[in-house]
Amino acid sequence: MDFQIEKGEFTAILGESGSGKSSLLKLIYGLEDADLGEIYFQNEIIRGPKFNLIPGHPKMKFVPQEFDLLDYVTVAENVGKYLSNFNLPLKKENIENALDVVRLLDFKNDFPNQLSGGQRQRVSIARALAANPELLLLDEPYSHLDQPLKIEIRKSIRNWAKETNSTLIITTHDMQDALEYSDKIIILKDGEIIQTDTPENLRKTPANEYVAALLGEYSIITAKEMSNLFQIEIPIDKKAIVFPDEIEVSEEGTEFEIKDLRFQGRDYLVEAVNESLSLKFYLVHFPSNELIKLKIRNYRLV
């Protein structure tokens, strides 16, 4: 495994459960020892617990999935845990700024045991933000948030990172968390890096079907099916991956039968079949009949 992250970059580590995402963050922070190789931060080797009495690095903060909050002190006191008391007005300002980023300023005098799981998660993130780390590591940071709040907090943390020129690394198995604001995405499987690239390039050229599956709904089509159904010739040992927005309704297309559709708010995700081939695509309006002609306007090979 070999990769480099530049200062100020937002990197998402994306992979299925058990792919090694959390372990990688712990290695970067120094909570675990690497079997091989070395990890550098600002030209300094990060060493694990075998070599460090106190794991971690003073310019890094790591927020694990376990929140580790103190229920007997207030939210504000939890957020100020890592801050010096030498300048109390500055400490108060840092605490309130961090709570504002995660939209919890009104809860600063509450106690963690009065909060929901999503609120507790945001308190633990605010505690890390208040320390103004140069590198912030977040392990599944939005897992306890409902969708509207997730969108807001995702944007707010990204804005914080830009304003402070902090480097941000998150782990997630939700492709939207990775695609929306990341400069770079690292795809993990079984502890190995499968692909590293920008969100745009990953979608254009996924390394394999595993990568495509992490990026959302897709259809996979054999060379024979591409030739017989769409008159598109591709190498016989390759398959075509097609995302739903790359399939369109056309009178010149091939006839498919609609088998399933799900309303998604803005449009319908439709599944249609022709013999053994199943395609997923979008329709703005509810289809008027079960038969529909489809055409592929873009694809990539794996």
Domains and CATH numbers, the chain: 10-206 (3.40.50.300), 219-301 (2.40.50.140)
Q: Which pLDDT band holds residue 173 (cuts at 50, 70, 90)?
A: confident
pLDDT at 183 over 80: yes
**Residue range 103-136, pLDDT digits in tens:** 999 999 999 999 999 999 999 999 999 999 999 9
Can you tell me whether residue 113 is helix, strand or coil? helix
Q: What average pLDDT score do residues 277-297 get?
A: 93
**C-alpha–C-alpha distance, residues 270 and 265, integer Å:** 13
Residue 215: partners with Cβ closer than 8 Å, 6 or more residues away: 175, 179, 202, 203, 206, 243
Is the model's pLDDT at 289 over the cut of 90?
Answer: no
| Residue 55 predicted with pLDDT over 90 | no
Q: What are the respective helix, strand and coil percentages of the chain, to the nearest 5?
A: 30, 25, 40
User: Which pLDDT belongs to residue 164?
Assistant: 96
For residue 124, the number of C-alpha atoms closer than 13 Å in the C-beta half-sphere is 24
Residue range 41-67: mean pLDDT, rounded = 87
pLDDT band at residue 166 using 50, 70 and 90 as cut-offs: very high
Mean pLDDT for 19-23 is: 94
> Could you tell me the pTM of the whole model?
0.91
